[in-house]
Structure 1
Amino acid sequence: MFDILTKYKNNGYFDFEPDDKLVSVCNAPTNKSGVYLVWNSTCNGNKELIYIGRSGKKENGKIVHRKAGLGGIKDRLVNGHQFGKLPEKEYGLL
């Protein structure tokens, strides 16, 4: 379904368990922007796509990376507002 993503040279993933600290397990870059997918692994081994997000914005034809906090896509994942007004780390879901 997402085979098109394999054409990008910078990609990766990490697993996050309920007892993990997101900031510790997140291996996303702090100096790059991009698109990220959040998957839920089900009991029977299947994966369910639950969220698609992005980090960074385009200004004057150039991609501008987040500089606040941890920086880049890592800061968006750890400190960003994906499901409301609280950062992910305060939800305890991701």
Structure 2
Amino acid sequence: MSLANTASSFIPEAVGTVIGDFNNDGKLDFLTSGGTGQVYVGLGTGDGTFQTKQLSNTYCSFNSSNLIVTGDFNADGNEDVAACSVFLGNGDGTV
């Protein structure tokens, strides 16, 4: 099973997925976001399966997400998550 299939099996509208070791156990995990305003984490078990759970209920004032990025934003040695929507302007003051 591919990562895309794994992510979309528990959040069908998954549009953004990133891979990393988010619980510092040496196993690959993934985060995915979707059109429902939620972020989910899949923690790798080491045998090709993931323990999935909702990480956040909502993270934007809008109900869709297209971007999810990770990094150590506060320099504490842990991966942090930034997720939000991008709304492209139409050039007339609307998106």
TM range (shorter): 0.3 to 0.5
Q: Going by fraction, where is strand more abundant, 1 or 2?
A: 2
Greater Rg, structure 1 or structure 2? 2
TM-score, normalised with respect to structure 1? 0.38
Larger relative CO (CA 8 A, sep 6+): 1 or 2? 1
